[in-house]
Amino acid sequence: MKTKYTDEPIGPVKVIPDVLPSPEELVFKEDTVEVTIALTRETVEFFKREASKHDTQYQIMIRRLLDAYAVANSKAT
């Protein structure tokens, strides 16, 4: 259906409060701890390749993998 615009008055206008979150509220911050870990070269190269395919960082992919593992195994116990 095509919208038809006219020059008729709109009527009373009601201003509503802004319901959108602020930009600061849109930034997803995780509670993280820095660690040092030694991984095999093959594992790091795998994650780097996959991350480049999905336009993300390989460290984030590794963290999410570990998070998923921890969640899955904490429910089992």
3 part of a folded domain: no
63 part of a folded domain: yes
62 part of a folded domain: yes
Number of domains forming the structure of the chain: 1
72 part of a folded domain: yes
Lowest mean pLDDT among 28-32, 44-48, 53-57: 28-32
Query: Which of 10, 65, 40 shows the shortest CA–CA distance to 73?
Result: 65
Phi/psi for 53 (5° steps) reads -65, -30
User: What is the per-residue DSSP string for 2-14?
Assistant: ------S------
Query: Which of 73, 70, 48 shows the shortest CA–CA distance to 61?
Result: 48
15 part of a folded domain: no
23 part of a folded domain: no
Domain carrying residue 45: 32-76
DSSP 22: P
18 part of a folded domain: no
8 A C-beta contact, residue 51 and residue 61: yes
This model's pTM is above 0.85: no
36 part of a folded domain: yes
Lowest mean pLDDT among 3-7, 37-41, 42-46, 70-74: 3-7
Confidence of residue 76 (pLDDT cuts 50, 70, 90): low
